[in-house]
Amino acid sequence: MKKILLTAFCILFTALSTVSLGVYGFQQYDYLTVSYQPMDYPPSNRQLNNPYRGWYHIYGYTLSDNTPIDMDDMAKTIAKDANQLVLLEINLRNYSDCEISASGLSQLESTLLAWQDAGKQLILRFLYDWNGKARQTEPKDISIIKRHMTQTGAIVNKYAERVYLMQGIYVGNCGEMNNSDYMSLENMYELAAHLNSVIDPAIYLSVRTPEHYRIICQTNEPLSFADAFSGKITARTGLFNDGMLGSESDLGTYGENDFVPSDDFTGKGTRSEEIAFQNVLCHYVPNGGEVVLDNEYNDFPRAVADLRAMHVSYLDSNYDLAVLDKWRSTIYSANNDTDGYSEDASSDSVDDYSQDYCFDGTDGYSYIGAHLGYRYALVSSDCSFDTFRDDKAKLAIEIANSGFSASYRPFISSITVLCEDGTLCDTIIANTDNRYWRSGETASFEVPLDIRIYKDGNYQIYYRLWDPATNREIRLANDMKHTNHGYCLGNFTVGHKEKAVKDLTP
């Protein structure tokens, strides 16, 4: 009788173990074993030809009905350019008293198309002067400048995926927002607001100084984390500095006295104050330009510290050669690294550039070139799974950014899982935003793996970072083999065992 009762109880228990958990608190579960072995991720000192960062060259074109742009000559120029970024300066002086003609607009579109087809990312600067005589060549009425913004904006917006940013507000000597009749507070704000309204929000805007940013954005504070990438004018306006590291004031970019907030948002702070302002602002918007005039402020160690603090992502490859050659003759020493600090920048965070040891002995120009913009590298990965608690495994990934800035355009992080025979098992898009992988920091994110549908066997996991705008893969700063699936994170093995009873009683 006891044997009969015991058998009946076992049958009843087995049946109840598969019914509602809310009543009985038990469930029959596949018992899985998952073991994970990450790869090594050594850092690399190689130059990465990734988009939206690095060295650029300037090319100037004048729109004209009488002497159209020579497209054959442009094609030869394009063929010789090896950089990802180019700065195109478009001179509108021939239309300073009228609308831009259909011929002029056609030349503009042909120019953008030619450079786009070459796979470049474009920085644009529209201007009326190259000779320091802006007041003589600019339109006599602000309405003409605004009309030119509207006309050119309609063309530029067609190439929004390749036009990375626009510098200036069309006025000033060389388009640098100085020595113009249109730099009053009212005119500056009016022109910037109009440009903001006619240019696709995907394209960044840039102004010459932090003071210009405060005036145009109507704030005394740099962009906050909460408003970053929001589409507001404050979140799309960066800086361009063509006097970078040229003197204590960066040739008038900064002031001599402490910054005093004002109701009209005017006023320049000291070098240390304005670099600290950029240290916050330019985590989220681009900053670049030209280094000029060989002096103590662009000596290599100090230059590295300030370029980091200002989060510089692009620099002119031809100017100033005296400064660039000085960097070429300097050797980077990991033992003497500034750890992300500049004596002119106030920062409450300790930046981590520990992966830069692989640059020890590299010349200064190559070191700076490699760090302009973002420089992402795999640091670690792990895979965790509890057969009784988890429906999916958790793949944890850490990526360090040793570049001077983040990327300001979003990329796609994808995981590919391959079976032992090389066939595709799974593809997952990670829920992470690389625009927040800040300079000198390590970003962490998790990717769920639907491990219970995997068969017993060995698998390889690959990571790939992709830019949808340029349709290009972002190369990582690791000394690892690159494949069509990206970089191998590691290997894992899945094994199924006998059924197990899982107790889920609260």
- Whether 500 shows a pLDDT value over 80: the answer reads no
Confidence of residue 11 (pLDDT cuts 50, 70, 90): very low
What does 145-188 look like in DSSP terms, one character per residue?
HHHHHHHHHHHHGGGTTTEEEEES-S-SGGGSS-S-TT-SHHHH
What does 310-377 look like in DSSP terms, one character per residue?
HT--EEESSTTHHHHHHHHT-B--GGG--TT--TT---SS----GGGGGGTT-BHHHHHHHHSS--EE
Alpha carbon distance 52, 314 (integer Å): 8
- Whether 1 shows a pLDDT value over 90: the answer reads no
CB atoms inside a 10 Å sphere around CB 292: 21
Confidence of residue 32 (pLDDT cuts 50, 70, 90): confident
- Whether 484 shows a pLDDT value over 90: the answer reads yes
Of residues 441 and 24, more confidently modeled:
441
The mean pLDDT of 170-198, rounded to a whole number, is 98
Of residues 76 and 506, more confidently modeled:
76
Q: In the prediction, which pLDDT does 176 show?
A: 98
Q: In the prediction, which pLDDT does 8 show?
A: 42
Q: In the prediction, which pLDDT does 347 show?
A: 41
- Whether 339 shows a pLDDT value over 60: the answer reads no
Mean pLDDT score across all residues of the chain: 91
pLDDT single digits (tens) 386-431:
988 999 999 999 999 999 999 999 999 999 999 999 999 999 999 9
- Whether 3 shows a pLDDT value over 70: the answer reads no
Confidence of residue 342 (pLDDT cuts 50, 70, 90): very low
CB distance 463 to 482 below 8 Å: no
pLDDT single digits (tens) 143-182:
999 999 999 999 999 999 999 999 999 999 999 999 999 9
Q: In the prediction, which pLDDT does 496 show?
A: 82
Cα-only R_g, the chain: 28
Alpha carbon distance 392, 218 (integer Å): 48
Q: In the prediction, which pLDDT does 30 show?
A: 67
Of residues 360 and 350, more confidently modeled:
360
Confidence of residue 506 (pLDDT cuts 50, 70, 90): low
Confidence of residue 214 (pLDDT cuts 50, 70, 90): very high
pLDDT single digits (tens) 266-292:
999 999 999 999 999 999 999 999 999
The mean pLDDT of 231-258, rounded to a whole number, is 98
Q: In the prediction, which pLDDT does 354 show?
A: 75
Q: In the prediction, which pLDDT does 21 show?
A: 36
Beta bridge partners of 442: 400
The mean pLDDT of 119-128, rounded to a whole number, is 98
CB distance 207 to 237 below 8 Å: yes
* pTM for this entry: 0.90
Alpha carbon distance 282, 356 (integer Å): 22
Q: In the prediction, which pLDDT does 353 show?
A: 74
CB atoms inside a 10 Å sphere around CB 478: 22
The torsion angles phi and psi of 318, rounded to 5 degrees, stand at -120, -5
Torsion of CA 212, 177, 57, 144, to 10 degrees: 120
